[in-house]
Chain A
Amino acid sequence: MSSAGALLDVRALTKHFPVHAGIFGRTTGYVHAVDDVSFTVIRGETLSVVGESGCGKSTVGRAILRLTPPTAGEVWLGAQRIDNMHASELRPLRRRMQVVFQDPFSSLNPRMRVREILAEPLTNFGLARGASEIDDRVAALLDKVRLPREAMHRYPHEFSGGQRQRIGIARALAPQPDLIVCDEPVSALDVSVKAQIINLLSQLQDELGLTLLFISHDLAIVEHLTHRVAVMYLGKIVELADRRALFAQAHHPYTRALLSAVPVPDPLAKRQRMILAGDVPSPIEPPSGCRFHTRCPFVFDRCRKEEPLLRVVAERHLSACHLGEAN
């Protein structure tokens, strides 16, 4: 995979949260939320980051947006390295990358009308001046997310969850970004509304040529809009492949377990479930060797000692597993 044409290039991104204990608050350890994660996102594509809760996928999104400072690694947006930029230098660049949050109830300020919410990015980046220009831009944004224009005079609590998420998307679209990080944008919504939002996102991507980094725990959702998928487990990417390849020929046992958990809307379909035993180990002391070895049904000696690196298993298909590796 070349990084030419890459809009976002994440190199060895690491985020450790210190754990404090005792009366003096000594740092007794670190939560290895994200460990040595690298990937690129090409302009116009959707990359999904998938994993169960606590695997660090949201932290990846936040670290890219610099909402939490990364511990190590590099983040490149186009030709600019942004992970070590000073906050004041970063502010104009924030126009190019936006975020949609999971919870549509906490992501909108309850005291601002929709117009104010959407006008904030516009005035902030100097994209619109004067009340009438702002009104026009806000109306256009509401059109884009298929909300009535009258919505601008109302408060967030007057909307349903799906409508609020549309407002959240409109806010992210306001500064005309290149990249939108969608942090579980549909997890809090009803199934029917989920589909609407997913469709809206893929339509917007086609219309506006957006690049999406889509963070989700739900492979079924991801299948509908993504180009590529990165599967994370305990702070590491275990598999990274094109959607088709991943859903057809998953390589990593963890991915296969995830895929087997996706519900199939056919009660007669015969399914082979691969049920993982045990819980996710603590990210404070991740297991040695392969982080998945405590739950992997195919575990062998080497997995406990040696950490598998991401390697090419097929064209445009990376996996971090010792299985089938030529020694």
Chain B
Amino acid sequence: MRLSPLNRRRLAIFCQHRRGFWSFWIFLALFLFCLGAEFVANDRPLIISYNGKHYFPVLFDYSEDTFGSEFLPTEADYTDPDVQKAINSRGWMIWPAIPFSYNTSVKNLSSPAPSPPDWRNLLGTDDQGRDVLARVIYGFRISVLFGFSLTAISSIVGIAAGAVQGFYGGAVDLLFQRFIEIWSGMPRLFLLIILGSIITPGFWVLLIFLLVFSWMSLTGVVRAEFLRGRNLDYARAAKALGVSDIGVMWRHILPNAMAAVLSFLPFTLSDSVTVLSTLDFLGFGLPPGSPSLGDLVAQGKNNLQAPWLGITSFVVLGGVLTLLIFIGEAVRDAFDPRRIPK
């Protein structure tokens, strides 16, 4: 794809923004690494060779009697010493780098949970004896995926709403603005607490609930861009050429409004991550037991005698948000028409 000169210039500015540029690559590497969390931290081996046949327990479930007729036909528990002995006697298995999943209770802890970092649990365990590093990896993934989903969907809704408002203006705009003013005054945290007392919100319920409020963050910018854009001569010309309203919005105004929107997105993303962490910290977020950064912060707060919990959560959450903010700054600068690449 050939980049337009404008986009090439933006890319150049982004690359020159050292801090943002490196943050972007670090974030991307961490994200891709955590996307494969199952292959990095899991309580199932990656590959088992048993009786000359290969098994991939990370991808497929096997019943325990696969590995010997003395076992029951239930799901295999690879942490069971008997199962391990049986497999090792007639084959071999390769474990992931961290042989715990986010919900694995580590057995034979050297000290009562939360136990401090050692060579087996590099970041220690939490108060339920689960490996903190594994939880951080899974937690990072779920936080970022949640943030991405929330940002993406609320951007689509927000852009559509802002576009309609700005393009049609007049009474539509007026009513919509008043609605947004009222709607944004709703206390979403309290509503979420009420919701949480009725049902246990899962990933999607939480996403939809937060979406109901977060779409408004972009409408203002998009509306302003469309109010400006609809009066530009090329938008008028398009109308005179018989282009439909949606065509004018989609092909003529939106591409020129996207600069303002895109420079907002990294900040929206970091907001989304923060919101999820806040809710998890308060206990109104993802179901109990889910790996999440907010849950880790809560554990750090409840177990001050185990500083590795608090420190880990601080470093991870602070790190993620810092990276996102740095990326956001670089993107914002890249879309700043007044900045000239050196």
Most buried by B among A91, A94, A120: A120
Q: Is the contact region of chain B dominated by helix, strand, or loop, or is it mixed? A: helix
Q: Is the CB of B241 within 8 A of A107?
A: no
Q: Is the CB of B232 within 8 A of A171?
A: no
Q: Is B191 an interface residue (CB 8 A)?
A: no
Q: Is the CB of B242 within 8 A of A92?
A: yes
Q: Is the CB of A121 within 8 A of B242?
A: yes
Instruction: Return chain A residues, CB-CB under 8 Å to B4.
Output: 111, 155
Q: Is the CB of B234 within 8 A of A108?
A: yes
Q: How far is the CB of A185 from chain B (nearest CB, A)?
A: 11
Instruction: Return chain A residues, CB-CB under 8 Å to B242.
Output: 91-92, 94-95, 121, 124-125, 175
Q: How far is the CB of B256 from chain A (nearest CB, A)?
A: 6
Instruction: Return chain B residues, CB-CB under 8 Å to A175.
Output: 241-242
The complex places the Cα of A157 from the Cα of B256 at a distance, in Å, of 14
Q: How far is the CB of B238 from chain A (nearest CB, A)?
A: 7
Q: Is the CB of A109 within 8 A of B240?
A: no
Interface size class of A (residues with CB under 8 A): 20 to 34
Instruction: Return chain A residues, CB-CB under 8 Å to B247.
Output: 124
Residue of B233, B236, B243, B255 touching A120 (CB-CB under 8 A): B243
Q: Is the CB of B241 within 8 A of A103?
A: no
Residue of A97, A103, A124 touching B233 (CB-CB under 8 A): A103
Most buried by A among B6, B234, B255: B234
Instruction: Return chain B residues, CB-CB under 8 Å to A157.
Output: 5
Q: Is B188 an interface residue (CB 8 A)?
A: no
Instruction: Return chain A residues, CB-CB under 8 Å to B5.
Output: 155, 157
Q: Is the CB of B256 within 8 A of A111?
A: yes
The count of residues in chain B whose C-beta lies closer than 8 Å to any C-beta of chain A is: 20
The complex places the Cα of A102 from the Cα of B236 at a distance, in Å, of 12
The complex places the Cα of A90 from the Cα of B232 at a distance, in Å, of 21
Q: Is A98 an interface residue (CB 8 A)?
A: yes
Q: Is A222 an interface residue (CB 8 A)?
A: no
Q: Is the CB of A101 within 8 A of B233?
A: yes
The complex places the Cα of A168 from the Cα of B241 at a distance, in Å, of 12
Closest to A181 in B: B240
With A111-B4, A111-B255, A111-B256 in contact, is A106–B240 under 8 Å at CB? no
Instruction: Return chain B residues, CB-CB under 8 Å to A112.
Output: 251
Q: Is the CB of B240 within 8 A of A67?
A: yes
Residue of B236, B243, B252 touching A101 (CB-CB under 8 A): B236
The complex places the Cα of A142 from the Cα of B306 at a distance, in Å, of 75
With A101-B233, A155-B4 in contact, is A109–B256 under 8 Å at CB? yes
Chain B residues 219-275 with CB under 8 Å of chain A are 232-234, 236-244, 247, 251-252, 255-256
Q: Is the CB of B243 within 8 A of A107?
A: no
Closest to A110 in B: B256
Instruction: Return chain B residues, CB-CB under 8 Å to A65.
Output: 240
Chain B residues 107-146 with CB under 8 Å of chain A are none
Q: How far is the CB of B53 from chain A (nearest CB, A)?
A: 54
The complex places the Cα of A38 from the Cα of B256 at a distance, in Å, of 38
The complex places the Cα of A124 from the Cα of B242 at a distance, in Å, of 7
Q: How far is the CB of B183 from chain A (nearest CB, A)?
A: 22
Q: Is A99 an interface residue (CB 8 A)?
A: yes
Q: Is the CB of A106 within 8 A of B241?
A: no
Instruction: Return chain B residues, CB-CB under 8 Å to A168.
Output: 237
Query: Lowest 5 A-B CB distances belong to which pairs?
Result: A107-B233, A94-B242, A101-B233, A109-B234, A121-B241
